Amino acid sequence: MVSPASHPWLHRFALLTAAATLVLIGIGGLVTSHGAGMAVPDWPNSYGYNMFTFPVSMWVGGILYEHSHRLAGSVVGFLTLVLALWLNGRAAAKWLRWGSLVVLALGLLAATSSKVKLDNVLFLAGTGVAGFGVSFVWPRHEPISPRLARFGALALVLVIAQGILGGLRVTALADWLGIFHGTLAQCFLVLICAIAFVTSGWWERLKVEPQLAPVPAKLRRFLLVTTLLILGQLALGASMRHQHAGLAVPDFPLAHGKVWPATDAAALEKYNQARLDVRDFKPITAGQIYLHMAHRLGALIVFGHVLGCLLKLRRTVGGMHPLTKVAGGWFALICVQFGLGIWTVLSNKAADIATLHVVVGAASLVTGALLTLLATTVFRAGQCAAGQAQSQSSPAAAGVKA
């Protein structure tokens, strides 16, 4: 096992993977905002082509967004594979070798079927041969750490599951799968960002920093609950997008002119007659209104919790503590997110504003998750420093020094 800080390029690569994942989430937001989820109706091919040989001349309209999303997902998948192998060190060479042989065998098997196009056969066979060759020159360093090696493997499993969910969303014509697809993407981003954070030199220095005040366990739990609330809010947002409930309530701060909108049959008929959004073909339902209002209430709850985290940290560890400064940035992100949510409604769900709302929401979740992780690290560092100070001042320690 080696120190993560001794591999600065690993940290940079993890940052690159995290940035690519955030871009992927943004492109996914554009796909949903433009209603382009079914612009390419087959998977894993694109209109019968291997996705990497799909003609650029056909990248028009909604196809541009959906196909770009698939390509970006492939890039993130490749980066995650390399990151997982890198974290596992010499053991990864064996996985890469056997995995490549499996891919090569699939390519050869596909060649025997008249239903599989030649470009797919060549892609599978070429990938298998390339991976098999790389496995013999793979770096022979020890795993970065057992825990990071497991996190890398988990990230690889999640990105594969994410790709399969995205494909099933298309082939099964199931909007509800998009909810899990969008929520899992947020969890995957958090994991990749955590790996990037833990492989940084700052993490190593922070663990032994003696002057940082410890964070009480109750406050750490409050940070965790707040972060989980943000994840729940993002899941609600994904449900709204895929259930076309984003404009079920088209006004703000009131809702259909009231504090709480009516949902009886007469009211729903009135809402649908006055509807301006022509992109959502299904009529507004009571369920969509309840979902929309739940998202609004969730935003208020998250806002209050993040503000509470900031105030509690100031009171507990002081305004100059690094955690308090990070929490200040976290609260600023939540304020921006709150404003973008309002703007999304008032702009009649403009695609660029709605997508930015998704991206800032992902950044808010990551900030909360890393702040919780950081609080745990600072707490342990403080306890460690306190324990060392106590042991040095104890009679036994004094006797040893004497």
What gap in Å lies between CA 225 and CA 209, rounded to an integer? 26
Taking only the tens place, the pLDDT of each residue in 197-254 is: 999 887 877 766 656 678 888 999 999 999 999 999 999 999 888 777 778 899 999 9
What gap in Å lies between CA 177 and CA 89, rounded to an integer? 35
Separation in Å, CA 141 to CA 79, 89, 147, 204, 233: 19, 5, 16, 20, 41
> Is residue 145 very low, low, confident or very high in pLDDT (cuts 50, 70, 90)?
confident
| Predicted pLDDT at 245 | 73
Say if residue 49's pLDDT is above 60.
Answer: yes
Task: Determine the residue type at 242.
Answer: H
| Predicted pLDDT at 5 | 57
Report helix, strand or coil for 244. Answer: coil
Say if residue 187's pLDDT is above 90.
Answer: yes
Say if residue 6's pLDDT is above 70.
Answer: no
- ∠ CA 300-301-306, nearest 5°, is 100
Please, are residues 178 and 238 in contact by the beta-carbon 8 Å criterion? Answer: yes
> Is residue 278 very low, low, confident or very high in pLDDT (cuts 50, 70, 90)?
low
Mean of per-residue pLDDT scores for the chain? 86
What gap in Å lies between CA 70 and CA 169, rounded to an integer? 13
Please, are residues 5 and 200 in contact by the beta-carbon 8 Å criterion? Answer: yes
Q: Position of tokens 């998704």?
A: 358
Q: Pick from 158, 186, 112, 128: which is nearest to 367 by CA? A: 186
| Predicted pLDDT at 279 | 56
What gap in Å lies between CA 136 and CA 394, rounded to an integer? 55
pTM for the complete prediction? 0.88
| Predicted pLDDT at 385 | 46
Alpha helix (H) residue ranges in 213-285: 217-242, 265-273
Taking only the tens place, the pLDDT of each residue in 117-143 is: 888 888 889 999 999 999 888 877 777
What gap in Å lies between CA 330 and CA 86, rounded to an integer? 31
> Is residue 93 very low, low, confident or very high in pLDDT (cuts 50, 70, 90)?
confident
43 — phi, psi (to 5°)? Answer: -160, 140
255 — phi, psi (to 5°)? Answer: -125, 105
Tokens of 155: 């990230």
Please, are residues 261 and 267 in contact by the beta-carbon 8 Å criterion? Answer: yes
What gap in Å lies between CA 131 and CA 150, rounded to an integer? 21
% of the chain beyond a pLDDT of 70: 89
